[in-house]
Amino acid sequence: MEDNKAIVCKDLTKQFGDFYAVNKISFEVLKGEIFGFLGANGAGKTTAMRILCGLSFPSSGTATVAGFDVYKQQEKIKKSIGYMSQKFSLYENLTVLENIEFYGGVYGVSRKEIKTRSEELVQTLGLESEAKKLVGALPLGWKQKLAFSVAIFHKPQIVFLDEPTGGVDPVTRRQFWDMIYEAAATGITIFVTTHYMDEAEYCNRISVMVDGKVEALDSPANLKKEFNADSMDEVFYQLARGAKRSGD
Amino acid sequence: MNAVTLQNISKSYQDVKAVRDVSFEVKKGELFGLIGADGAGKTSIFRILTTVLLADKGTATVAGFDVVKDYKAIRDRIGYMPGKFSLYQDLTIRENLEFFAAIFGTTIDENYELIKDIYDQIKPFSDRRAGKLSGGMKQKLALCCALIHKPEVLLLDEPTTGVDVVSRKEFWAMLKSLQEKGITILVSTPYMDEANLCERIALIQNGRIMSVDTPENIIKSFPVKLYAAKSDAIYKLLKDFRAAPVVDSCYAFGEFLHVTMKGNRETGSSELRDLAIERGHTHVVVQEITPGIEDSFIRLMNEKTEVSAHQ
């Protein structure tokens, strides 16, 4: 496998009965890249992401994540990646520090390192006065920033972000992207889904899934040229309006 | 006449001030948007207007009735679609619809004209259980159920959250046609781009209304010039602009940065261009642009934060 690839998929397929949730998708994500994984509801994004995170086996095709095989090396994949989603990321009944300690511990970061780095992290996030408060009491924007920091606390090679900015106010949404850029600059590969088309523009490259297939894959600028569109919103609309499936 | 009025409404949950002294009106027949992020207080306002939550302070009316004294009259006259899918998951599409028609003392046939366009899209699946429907189909069913008794006022709490661009466009087209049939609509959304589809909007943040007006007027009242800028290294450009003393604010906006400058400058574009080139940027583009709702929202948010920091 080539060294500069964080993810390589070839004809990756997931079949439930006669339904092809993911239908022969092929793409590569470069190391350190911010890769936007877009698609309409029900296009198959979540299913594909579950395979890439080592949570579900494909029906056919091949894929490696951080150099590990999605069939045989799921546990190694899990150790090499970070994950956060809008829906669940942190334990609301643990404090800020406890959440960091818990995730650090799960991913095998040493106690000593957890202690020093969690103090640093709390400081960087400006959460000093909230460090011993329950996460449930934090505003959503803070939760999401903390969840992202926790997801990359063990310095994974790749972080998967599933609609990380849903429902967040416009200023916090941008602060969140600042954090994504910072992380990418340290060499972490970012794999992100979003419904905000302006955020698609912040990615180096994006793919658009329609009905289980990857129908477009390029930089935002090239896609706009290809589809003769002013915005990614228009590109997405042109691709997705013909979709036959819709789902959650 | 106003279909909805709120006067100095406040609501707290223990220490959290969810709604702070909120006042606005929705005119009869209007499509009015309540625009703000999660936790801004939108849902509390909806729950007060739908008479399922009591405000701590202030008064509110819906369809001319007081939310406390005349709550029963309001319940007959409104259609409510909560943010969370709240239909019966183990009833079919048709059963859900029949159920809602029955409890409002009507039948599907009686008001079929109103829901026809929406219902036609899910009719082929009318025997499927609601729990087995896709997000877009649930949304359409929920809207049908909220409409089946021909309400005067429709209250929709984040109907398009988590829904993709295509379904969102379809949904807003449905709202427009309902409005044309004379129904007043109060709808909330965290998506700033949807604000432009409303006649008037209220921007809400931390329980406070920051502005109420037409989208055009809110944009017009943006107090300074706004520039869009880009270069080959957009993230570095963001940092360089933020570090520059002449720059007041700089945010990423799709493929461009949106920049405002301190003071009233006539030569802003060229100053920014020079600044970028000086820092070694290539393919620099800077142009003056018309702000959008999201620009206004960010500016108002920052002004409010500064004000409260000085208090």
- Which residues lie below 8 Å from residue A99, measured CB to CB, with a gap of 6+? A90, A91, A135, A146, A150
d(CA B24, CA A60): 57
Chain B residue at shortest CA distance from A231? B254
State what percent of residues in chain B have pLDDT above 70: 98
CB atoms within 10 A of CB B225: 16
DSSP tag of B241 = H
From A208's Cα to the closest Cα of chain B, the distance in A is 12
The answer regarding whether domain B2-214 maps to CATH 3.40.50.300 reads yes
Question: Which residues of chain B neighbour A166 with C-beta distances below 8 Å?
Answer: 161-162, 190
pLDDT at A125 over 80: yes
Provide the pLDDT for residue A246.
64
DSSP tag of A127 = -
Chain A residue at shortest CA distance from B293? A170
- Record: contact A232-B205, CB cut-off 8 A: no
Q: How far is CA B282 from CA A67, A220, A225, B279, in A?
A: 35, 19, 21, 9
What digits encode the pLDDT tens for the residues B62-87?
Answer: 999 999 999 999 999 999 999 888 89
Q: Domain A5-89+140-146+156-240: which topology?
A: Rossmann fold (3.40.50)
**DSSP secondary structure, B57-82, as one string:** EEEEEETTEETTTTHHHHHHHEEEE-
| DSSP tally for chain A: helices H, then strands E | 9, 10
pLDDT at B149 over 50: yes
The answer regarding whether domain B223-290 maps to CATH 3.30.565.10 reads no
User: Lowest mean pLDDT: which of A18-32, B125-139, B235-249?
Assistant: B125-139
What would the mean pLDDT of B114-136 be, rounded to a whole number?
91
- Record: contact A247-B38, CB cut-off 8 A: no
State what percent of residues in chain A have pLDDT above 70: 98
What would the mean pLDDT of A100-110 be, rounded to a whole number?
95
Question: Which residues of chain A neighbour B294 with C-beta distances below 8 Å?
Answer: 170
- Record: contact B37-A198, CB cut-off 8 A: no
Chain B residue at shortest CA distance from A232? B254
- CB-closest option in B37, B192, B252 to A177: B252
pLDDT at B206 over 80: yes
Asked if A19 is an interface residue toward chain B (Cβ–Cβ < 8 A), one would say no
**Disruptive mutation site among A169, A176, A201 for chain B (greatest number of B CBs within 10 Å):** A169
pLDDT at A247 over 80: no
What digits encode the pLDDT tens for the residues A164-223?
Answer: 988 888 999 999 999 999 999 899 999 999 988 889 999 999 999 999 999 999 999 999
Asked if A87 is an interface residue toward chain B (Cβ–Cβ < 8 A), one would say no
- CB-closest option in B37, B169, B254 to A231: B254
Question: Which residues of chain B neighbour A41 with C-beta distances below 8 Å?
Answer: 134-136, 162-164, 167
Q: Which residues of B touch A (CB under 8 A)?
A: 36-40, 134-137, 161-167, 169, 190-193, 205, 235, 251-255, 294, 297-298, 301-302
pLDDT at B199 over 50: yes
pLDDT at B311 over 50: no
What digits encode the pLDDT tens for the residues B154-196?
Answer: 999 999 887 778 888 889 999 999 999 999 999 999 989 899 9
Question: Which residues of chain B neighbour A141 with C-beta distances below 8 Å?
Answer: 37
- Record: contact B135-A140, CB cut-off 8 A: no
Chain B residue at shortest CA distance from A139? B39
- Record: contact A221-B255, CB cut-off 8 A: yes
Provide the pLDDT for residue B307.
59
Query: Is the complex ipTM more than 0.95?
Result: no
pLDDT at B304 over 80: no
From B106's Cα to the closest Cα of chain A, the distance in A is 31
Provide the pLDDT for residue A88.
66
Let me know the angle formed at the C-alpha of A172 by B31 and A237, rounded to the nearest 5 degrees. 55
Asked if A206 is an interface residue toward chain B (Cβ–Cβ < 8 A), one would say no
- Record: contact B135-A141, CB cut-off 8 A: no
What would the mean pLDDT of A20-30 be, rounded to a whole number?
96
Q: Structural domain boundaries of chain B?
A: 2-214, 223-290
pTM of the entire predicted model: 0.87
Tell me which residue of B200, B149, B206 sits closest to B12, measured CA to CA.
Answer: B206
CA atoms within a 13 Å half-sphere pointing along the CA-CB vector of B25 = 8
What digits encode the pLDDT tens for the residues B89-123?
Answer: 999 999 999 999 999 999 999 999 999 999 998 99
Provide the pLDDT for residue B165.
81
pLDDT at A3 over 80: no
Name the average pLDDT for chain B: 93
